[in-house]
Structure 1
């Protein structure tokens, strides 16, 4: 690809400082050093469209897109202009800003199943507020989550179900139950084992696999039958599967739903939306039920984030963003799978997910998931100018970007194949990456790159 790599000297200097000042070295575990090979950019300086430049000046075609928070592309001019204009008038006031009403109107018109919305800054706050609302509405304590979906919140009700449960009381852990996606029997069993005790059932409409045999509709029916609120987590699907949300695509009407990620093209804005009778428990008008203290955040309605969200939603309305994501994702999948076949690695490297939100699986010689081989694939694509912790496309990814990416992947797969024959340790520089959900850290240096 003709990439001239400048090394990672500046990133290395920043890494040691970051880990001294910040637990984990960053503010999102998915962006941590343990998730990447040693030979990788530690810090990004800027982005434009589908490209980013690290602090050492290396350029990459990027496929993480801010952990799926950037749907259009980095620094999208119209969104940035709207945010900049709003900021010139002030970001935060003692009373609400008029733009809060405008943003709510735009959002609710787009997501037609919801009647009220409350904005905040991240997905965890939105989903946790949904749990509080569901418990208040039903008078119940138990929550059911889909165990096949990897992340719902940093709060105790979810983290207590993971290996990273230090600091969470056992009594809290026992309040969360688990079921499996596309396994309606596991849902029925929960309701049978805990009759009239489950306040809410939460799941993503899809994680890439399609709901089968009317799964989502049967879940909806069971929740209604048992007086349980159905909550759809659309943090990822909301602005990728369909412009009106995956709930519109699949024809499912939830009681509550949460949105975020690409809602404001990377600006911090998320949403809890739902039926008026439930959402109004957090309002000032209803007097029949105890009041719910629902999402009170000082920065939840910053004007520039609202302006970015409005501009973003307007672009999605008038331009074929969703269609582009699916089309470019399909092209990337097809070409990547052809490259994998050329190297005879179809049993060891797999493209997974929906076209608009692709990921990949890396398997070792025995066909088992391998962090070492994942690290090697990342290392070798980074060498060739592509940063791909996933294969998530944006509106900015054009045909040329897909072609250059496949070219980089082809070169990386050649190294992968040799590592299958001679051992991955011969080709991977330093330690492999690790999984996020682990009880203990491995004793090892943060970095060994020089």
Structure 2
């Protein structure tokens, strides 16, 4: 009987190693607690960011700073609780003896057990990071996202997951995970209430978005959080626990440097001095910093009514200037352009309030001290000023404490001027401006 030798393709197939479809890492990565933890991290971070989208959507620094706080204060407790629950799984299932018979040493077994969960925590954070950066892209016209924020966040999440896993192995009680999450939240948030630079030891601490970290700042922060986690891991898993001294010393050195330098690890980024101006045949002339040029149409629209009413008076065509630029003789300071407060997604949130704040900056308002006036003159002076403001920048609001009748509706204040003929109103307003510039109560026109 003869047999046919297998061909070359068949020989190669027989010799090739079979893929390990049942590796511990693959099994833990594809099912169980790890993928659910990653999805939960993404959902929690995106929900927290969405609830405050008006504050960060429009600024790279604001976006990453708020995401950092969410990743530490929300993602951190979630990751440490998941790590703790994963670490105590063998004790809860009664498979500690079976695990001890594995051929791998304790360091390898511990890494295989915690690596899938850590990978999913990082994936969850990265998905949230990509989503919020994509949401910021259409509205952020200044700066760029910084890698340093992501580096410190990723190192922190890896570290706290590993610490939670070790705690779960040492204290496999079912309530250890939630209690550890609460302790992590309090411990990470408490430094913010400290008055010293020790508050910067918490990865959740926010810094003014006009400051950016120096190139070595994420390395120091990573050494601080990663060193503590590595020391805890080696104390539990290493054959020679003395090796834990090295990462612990690194963490102590990094923490000392953070507490000593404090804000010195960040540098201030000054606002660029280049200005962009917008004007036309009609409407006001507005000048802002060049990165805010996208706001020009919204600002000009908000000030359109104020500009039209000033045209009735014998006043120059004012130019409205943002931020700290030097003012010329016919320049008026604009309210501070704060993204997330009065500006959201390149739109002015409350155009009427913005116009009212701008009107209060006009040169004939707030020039006179009421100390030289009698109470009756000061009361009349204030009432006329409120009336002119209500006419120039109307808003259907209640002005508390407006003399002489306490709270008065804005519509009631501007009613006398609205009832005048255009020529008579222009004459009255010109006399008011002249009296306000000279601070002479006797020249104040009657209303």
Q: Looking at secondary structure, tell me which structure has more strand per residue.
A: 1
Which TM bucket (shorter chain)? under 0.3
Choose 1 or 2 for highest CA Rg.
2
TM-score, normalised by the number of residues in structure 2? 0.22
TM-score (normalizing by structure 1): 0.22
| Greater share of residues in helix | 2
